[in-house]
Amino acid sequence: MFAFIKGLAPLQGLEERQLKLSGMEAADCHLITNRASHSGNDSYLYHSQDVLACFDGILANADRLIDSYATQGIKDLLDKVLVDQDTSLVPHFYGQFTCTSYHSSGKGIFFGNQIGSGKLYYWHQEQKLVVSSSLAMVVAILRHNGIKCSLDEVGVRMMMAHGFTSVDYTTIAGIKHLQAGKMLFWDNGKLSVREYYNSFPEQSPDGLHKAVYTMNQLFREAAEHIHRCDLRHGKRHFAFLSGGMDSRMSVYTALDVGFEDLSVLNYSQSGYRDHKIARKIAKMNGLNFYFYPLDGGRYLLDAHEAIYYNDGQIAYHGAAQMHAALKDRDLSDYGVVMSGQMGDFSMGYFLVKPGHEKPGVRCIGTLPHDDPELGEIMAQIASRYPNQEFYTIDNHSFNAGINGDLVCYQKSHSLSPFGYPPFFSYCLSIDPKLKYRHQLYFKWVNTYQKQAAKLPWEKTGLPPRLGHKVIGKAMFVRRVREKLGLMGILRIKSMHPFDQWLKDDPDLAQSLDSLLKNSDTYGVIAASNLAKLFAENISSPDFSIRMSAYTASHSLNKMLGGDEPWIPERFTGGF
């Protein structure tokens, strides 16, 4: 974590919170960083008379970049960015990271990674600037300096309608989110945002067989980077494993490129298909298998902890189960937490027909809720994109789909081979008709991971070796059953059956209802124009709508309520 401050006073009492303050008094700027809590990272603080800079996170492909740029090591490599401000290297970085570099000449650069799992937030006014990997920290610094902060009505509407904020909006007025693949430039009071990585290329002419081959090569390359990164830090290997396809492909490919002594974690309802398939994969491949049961859903009562890892910008329940599974787990012996994040998104998840559609507000969120007053704004945002898939990925995937990575960021660093920029961009360039209804995905699995293709897929209970046409019919049946479950006609089994838990456990339902309805502690939303909308949403019969409203309300009251600025308690990385 870091917070860069120019033209404002830094927070007090940082030492007792294990936070360090560095400064360049002549340039009137300071940098707050946290103490090291996990040794398996590449975080680096550079402080001289003329430069105040840091790289916070993990750079998985450091070995390749060191060779490519003929540098003496990772610090020498990072100095090209931190000290020389050479931004040409940044598009080639692969990792979970944020970075800042400020020179006494008055020039600064700030950026996160290409897929949004390294978050940055910023506030600017004349010669004053605050940039941090924590939205809550930006708010705390502003409040410490007597600058009034308030909620952003559009950002809060986005949270309550979609379960996340879109483009550069946040739930706090005047504070923006730096979008994935973009870089913030400061030049003596002038602030600009420029794109350094474009994840949305022109369509590739590659056919099915060439596409599958190229994908597999790039995916293996990503896994090799993660493998070498763990070895470089002297760490053991750790990954998530479910009954789905994404984490399965990550684990099988990891084993192909040389991962040894691999530990995997599954979280699910005990005995559910997800649990059984993951356990079988682990046993077949000699993996160290760990399981966290979600039985009963009591972990939902920890909803207030969401602000620690996503600043209340993504609905809590989206990654609540991962947070519960990791909260008390010691990861100090392990390196990168490998996942299957971004898998579905890269493989055509948002395609509803075998071709691209014009962008619209449909499918931007996961909630069955519409906010007419937000519709016009979302239509304007959608018009910036060439098609629906790119619009949804840039907002849903890069802003919310990385929620699991943010959970892991509390203790370690998380990477998915699917989020490897060359792999992800290539997948988006593939003809959509090849990706439609998992055709490309299953061709890839059946060609290069035949054992994985023989095992059932959690979504259907059928193995991918049956092909996309058979699986497609099974997916249709699944959707029908899900609708019958929502109507109360069928009792549906799943990894986390929220509604069923609440129905089976009246005490859980009552406790959660009390937690949600009392979330506007300081009346932050009650005093706004959104009071009526919030009251409707927090009482909605739809679980997801209620949780999204709660996440917005709780985080806003934490950041904006009370007499003293609230400083977040949990950060990872360190210098």
Same domain, 152 and 248: no
Answer whether residue 150 is part of any domain.
yes
Q: How far apart are CA 26 and CA 6, in angstroms?
A: 11
pLDDT at 245 over 60: yes
Answer whether residue 491 is part of any domain.
no
pLDDT at 483 over 80: no
What was the pLDDT predicted at 574? 45
Among 152, 173, 195, identify where a domain stops: 195
Among 172, 195, 218, identify where a domain stops: 195
- Work out the average pLDDT over 241-259: 97
Same domain, 274 and 389: yes
What was the pLDDT predicted at 573? 43
Answer whether residue 566 is part of any domain.
no
Which of 275-289, 290-304, 470-484, 547-561 shows the lowest per-residue confidence on average (mean pLDDT)?
Answer: 470-484
Answer whether residue 554 is part of any domain.
yes
- Work out the average pLDDT over 318-339: 93
Answer whether residue 165 is part of any domain.
yes
pLDDT at 385 over 80: yes
What was the pLDDT predicted at 488? 63
pLDDT at 360 over 70: yes
Same domain, 354 and 470: yes
Range of the domain at 281: 208-486
pLDDT at 415 over 80: yes
Q: How many CA atoms lie within 13 A of 438 on its CB side?
A: 22
pLDDT at 304 over 90: no
Q: How far apart are CA 541 and CA 499, in angstroms?
A: 10
What was the pLDDT predicted at 363? 53
- Bridge partners (DSSP) of residue 164 are 314
What was the pLDDT predicted at 470? 84
Residues 6+ apart with CB under 8 A from 343: 244, 245, 246, 247, 249, 250, 416, 418
How many domains are there within the chain? 3
CATH number at residue 406: 3.40.50.620
Answer whether residue 574 is part of any domain.
no
**Whole-number Cα distances in Å, 494 to 274, 295, 349, 460, 552:** 8, 11, 20, 11, 26
Cα 26 to chain centroid, rounded: 37
**Model pLDDT for residues 40-81, shown as the tens digit of each residue:** 689 999 999 999 999 999 999 999 999 999 899 999 999 999
If you average pLDDT over every residue of the chain, what do you get?
91
pLDDT at 224 over 60: yes
Q: Which helix (H) or strand (E) holds 429?
A: helix 421-429
Same domain, 416 and 521: no
The band of 333, judged by pLDDT with boundaries at 50, 70 and 90, is: very high
Q: What proportion of the chain, given as a percentage, has pLDDT over 70? A: 93
- Work out the average pLDDT over 327-343: 94
**Model pLDDT for residues 25-36, shown as the tens digit of each residue:** 888 999 999 865
pLDDT at 505 over 90: yes
Q: How far apart are CA 575 and CA 82, in angstroms?
A: 15
CATH number at residue 138: 3.60.20.10
pLDDT at 575 over 50: no
- Bridge partners (DSSP) of residue 193 are 184
Same domain, 185 and 326: no
Same domain, 148 and 271: no
pLDDT at 492 over 90: no
pLDDT at 381 over 80: yes
pLDDT at 477 over 90: no
- Work out the average pLDDT over 289-296: 95
Same domain, 363 and 412: yes
Higher pLDDT, 430 or 462: 430
Same domain, 270 and 235: yes
What was the pLDDT predicted at 13? 83
Q: How far apart are CA 416 and CA 240, in angstroms?
A: 10
Among 169, 195, 221, identify where a domain stops: 195
- Work out the average pLDDT over 127-156: 96
pTM: 0.95
pLDDT at 538 over 70: yes
Same domain, 306 and 236: yes
Same domain, 274 and 295: yes
- Work out the average pLDDT over 241-265: 97
Same domain, 509 and 468: no
Same domain, 187 and 212: no
Answer whether residue 524 is part of any domain.
yes
- Work out the average pLDDT over 120-136: 96
- Work out the average pLDDT over 259-266: 97
Answer whether residue 401 is part of any domain.
yes
What was the pLDDT predicted at 572? 42
